[in-house]
Structure 1
């Protein structure tokens, strides 16, 4: 497998593949992100850094494009991708048709949305279109979720845009507690523990998200109070509008 663009997600993919129970594949890394690439090659004997991006392509069966969308022109210019290779694009907002024009290739192209948790092999990765090689790859990293069309893929891509808002929400809770006189370190420790427990409860897929919410609150209790007074219909509508706008932008660019 080759990885062009070794940022946070590229690093997580390599860690997840190399730290699993099975025999890890040979992994070729682009020199882009040279410090990270060199660190990974020094840690794992099956990983090596190539001279350039074409070297990565030539030596790989599966080529993962993990560059930032705004860097794709520079990173992909002049690449020759042929044979029986499969290309996996992690670039948000770059559709299959555009990528095919950029690369000028007829090989299978697959879009994917892996998250940093692939490092622990716990991330469900959305893919489009379904491809047996690519879906098997992500099944080993927490699970593949193929979608039927590129429009649906865009919806999942928009959902990933809410990730850092969750961290911002937790930071806001911690800051509020500190303003009430609670030591900031103690507040952060408690908030982290509180929501780690929530994350574990999400593993119970026998209950819907609405059921989980109901099971965690009592009528007229403190959880119900915050949910109904802060996360009210206006708040929910604001979030919906933000997601609608993001999805529209992704579909225009992709």
Structure 2
């Protein structure tokens, strides 16, 4: 498949790295010259071109720039009717993307994460897309949204990643300072959190609730810290923060 990306930021670069070994002809834009050059150097099937050059060389085009600059960038570009366009951007609806890339088809909105480069990433998609399943489903989990409102809800919920990582970092720093081995502290907590959550099949319901129940020994370490954080208002603050992130659904 001939694939192009306009924008070579962190996410777009990770997407390219995640599919570069699958035999596609990939063209990346020169907007971020250093990143584009690094991708081209790393993979024989990745070449660098201007934005219009990316479009001319591709059947599927990923838009990986910031949503607030996309209209200004895309207005001077010419798409073809036989092309499919996937947006990696936040802030523009599928209808808005369709207007910007006509006569090409706006295939889907897609939110991946940086570890898509190695596989094992959830990928939010709206609407359901056989194209995204074919490109990414063999090594990642594509989660298709039934409507734009659900996509917005998931978009808000994915912001949990950064606060959770910050909590793990705080605990890692605390443990490393007391043991003198910062690297071991981080390794332990990465395994502790990540391993437990993915040990069971992903389609098994109630895993998180079950794990909390298993970690609820009265006066145990886990229960005591969880209760302390609840009394400090951490969970109420989380819910309030998610509520603030939600935006009106767009079609």
Task: Give the structure-2-normalised TM-score.
Answer: 0.88
Name the residue aligned to 1:200: 195
Name the residue aligned to 2:212: 213
Which residue, 14, 17, 41 being the options, matches 1:15?
A: 17
CA distance in 2, matches of 1:24, 1:155: 35
Cα drift, residue 101 of structure 1: 2.5
Name the residue aligned to 1:123: 121
Name the residue aligned to 2:164: 166
CA distance in 2, matches of 1:195, 1:58: 43
Cα drift, residue 39 of structure 1: 1.0
Name the residue aligned to 1:40: 39
Secondary structure of the residue that 1:162 maps to in structure 2? helix
- In terms of mean alpha carbon deviation, does 88-97 or 192-201 score higher? 192-201
Cα drift, residue 139 of structure 1: 0.5
Name the residue aligned to 1:132: 130
Q: Is the 8 A contact 1:28 1:48 kept in 2?
A: yes
Cα drift, residue 178 of structure 1: 6.1
Secondary structure of the residue that 2:79 maps to in structure 1? coil
CA distance in 1, matches of 2:7, 2:165: 25
Secondary structure of the residue that 1:202 maps to in structure 2? helix
Specify whether residues 202 and 73 from structure 1 end up closer, same or farther in structure 2 by C-alpha distance, changes over 3 A only.
same
Cα drift, residue 217 of structure 1: 4.1
Q: Which runs of 5+ in 1 are unaligned?
A: none
What is the CA RMSD across the aligned residues, in angstroms? 2.2
Secondary structure of the residue that 2:90 maps to in structure 1? coil
CA distance in 2, matches of 1:14, 1:106: 21
Q: Is the 8 A contact 1:124 1:143 kept in 2?
A: yes
Q: Is the 8 A contact 2:148 2:249 kept in 1?
A: no
Task: Give the structure-1-normalised TM-score.
Answer: 0.87
